[in-house]
């Protein structure tokens, strides 16, 4: 039966090439865009290396210091008395308002003294991402993005190590002259990212460092891992290490035992903020350590919104609506095309019913034909999407972000093809399956 349906579907597609072309163009273009969008979201917020534990992360990128003053608000009420005179009552209310604030990354002293041993965190990663550092080799100068990270950084983020291994606690304690670099940085500096690079010297700034490990460049851009060269955290500028202020150049993120533990850790950080002793600060009287899950942090970065939950709503509700409209519009057009195409075969349906075909057979046939059409359009859309992905990645058109070919993306794409074909075919197929034989042959 399926073989007969397939043979008939191919013949029908050849019969009306214009309808077929228009349908295939709409399907392939729509599915290509959907796959590109899915691939981009998977690259940016999917559980890809080095954040396969994304759903167990809590990030604390900065803190805010605030100064609060009390405003006195005077309200005058008037009351008309029996003797026609007016009585004036004055009331006062008091309202606390933030009159000044300062926000930014935290100091090394603050993160190590207050965020190092939180009860809800399995690991606590701290990092400093200075703007750039110069590398020198044979009279040539290179500019790299440096990250100064502690040992827990490598326990939370599972970088793909092509060669060598990560930095460790001893490197932090001894301020070792060792670095981990990305494969891109290795190719720029040494001309190769092979195992032969391990142990070689890199002249970075005024010091020389040995390459401890080489990691694959991540698929996405993120403040957590946007470096080219990774140093032990104790190799940062000594002034940053000894600064007594609570603000500085360091950010933090944590890994909890399971996703359901994230809220408890966030509340622990909020409790720390609310009860932090500000007696040593002559101007500010309170702090807030901003914290969020990884997906909330992504939304905050995109929208520049401080409230993590509001940022999540602001990002994903419009995105969901836009995706729905993007799919719905071509779906409606395809339904209309299918109705027109199927209506022309009304007499054929009447003949088939006259020879004994029932409504269910007609329904299955047209749904199958539309699935075949959608599948062909999906294959074309897949080929186009893969071509665009290869071009974008090869030319770094999205910066560090690279579109993915993961099996999750292919699975999403396959589900979209099946739903697209079924939904766009079920209505015209149902209408034609209910066709009256006499009306069809008239």
Rounded average pLDDT over 352-358 = 65
| pLDDT > 70 in the chain, percent | 76
Please report the pLDDT score of residue 251 as a whole number: 96
Please report the pLDDT score of residue 438 as a whole number: 54
| CA-to-CA separations, 258 to 53, 55, 263, 384, 434, in angstroms, rounded | 9, 8, 11, 39, 54
Asked whether residue 71 carries a pLDDT value surpassing 80, the answer given is: no
Average pLDDT over the chain reads 82
Highest-scoring range by mean pLDDT, 86-90, 147-151, 377-381: 147-151
Asked whether residue 31 carries a pLDDT value surpassing 70, the answer given is: yes
Asked whether residue 92 carries a pLDDT value surpassing 70, the answer given is: no
Tokens linked to 163: 């060669």
Asked whether residue 83 carries a pLDDT value surpassing 90, the answer given is: no
Count of CB atoms within 10 A of residue 133's CB? 17
Tokens linked to 213: 């490990």
Please report the pLDDT score of residue 45 as a whole number: 74
Asked whether residue 270 carries a pLDDT value surpassing 60, the answer given is: yes
- Report pLDDT digits (tens) over 163-212: 999 999 999 999 999 999 999 999 999 999 999 999 999 999 999 999 99
Distance CA 41, CA 126 (A): 26
Query: CA-based Rg of the chain, rounded to a whole angstrom?
Result: 31
Distance CA 144, CA 350 (A): 73
């Amino acid at each position: 039966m399926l073989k007969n349906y397939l043979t008939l579907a191919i013949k029908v597609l050849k019969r009306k090439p214009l309808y077929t072309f228009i349908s295939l163009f709409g399907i392939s273009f729509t599915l290509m865009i959907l796959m590109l969008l899915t691939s981009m979201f998977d690259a940016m917020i999917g559980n890809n290396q080095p954040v396969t534990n994304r759903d167990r992360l809590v990030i604390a990128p900065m803190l805010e210091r605030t100064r609060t003053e009390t405003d006195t608000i005077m309200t005058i009420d008037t009351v008309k008395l029996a003797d026609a005179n007016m009585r004036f009552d004055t009331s006062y209310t008091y309202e606390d308002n933030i009159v000044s604030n300062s926000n930014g990354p935290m100091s090394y002293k603050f993160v190590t003294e207050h965020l190092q041993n939180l009860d809800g965190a399995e690991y606590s990663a701290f990092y400093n991402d200075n703007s750039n550092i110069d590398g020198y080799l044979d009279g040539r100068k290179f500019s790299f993005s440096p990250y100064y990270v502690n040992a827990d950084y490598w326990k939370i983020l599972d970088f793909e190590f092509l060669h060598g291994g990560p930095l460790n606690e001893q490197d932090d304690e001894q301020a070792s002259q060792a670095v981990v670099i990305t494969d891109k940085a290795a190719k720029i500096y040494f001309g190769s990212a092979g195992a032969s690079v391990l142990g070689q010297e890199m002249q970075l700034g005024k010091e020389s460092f040995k390459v401890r490990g080489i990691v694959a460049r991540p698929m996405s851009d993120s403040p957590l891992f946007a470096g080219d060269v990774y140093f032990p955290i104790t190799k940062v500028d000594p002034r940053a290490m000894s600064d007594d202020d609570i603000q500085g150049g360091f950010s933090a993120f944590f890994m909890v035992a399971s996703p359901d533990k994230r809220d408890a850790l966030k509340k622990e950080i909020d409790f720390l903020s609310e009860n932090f002793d500000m007696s040593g600060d002559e101007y500010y009287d309170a702090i807030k350590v901003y914290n969020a899950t990884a997906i909330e942090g992504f939304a905050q970065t995109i929208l520049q919104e401080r409230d993590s939950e509001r940022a999540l709503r602001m990002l994903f509700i419009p995105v969901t609506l836009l995706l729905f409209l993007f799919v719905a519009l071509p779906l409606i057009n395809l339904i209309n095309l299918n109705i027109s195409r199927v209506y022309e075969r009304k007499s054929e349906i009447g003949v088939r019913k006259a020879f004994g075909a029932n409504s269910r057979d007609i329904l299955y046939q047209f749904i199958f034909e539309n699935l075949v059409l959608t599948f062909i359009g999906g294959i074309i859309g897949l080929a186009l999407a893969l071509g665009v992905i290869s071009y974008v990645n090869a030319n770094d058109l999205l910066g560090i972000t690279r579109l993915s070919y993961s099996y999750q993306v292919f699975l999403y794409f396959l589900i979209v093809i099946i739903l697209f074909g079924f939904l766009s075919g079920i209505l015209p197929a149902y209408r034609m399956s209910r066709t009256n034989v006499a009306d069809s042959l008239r």
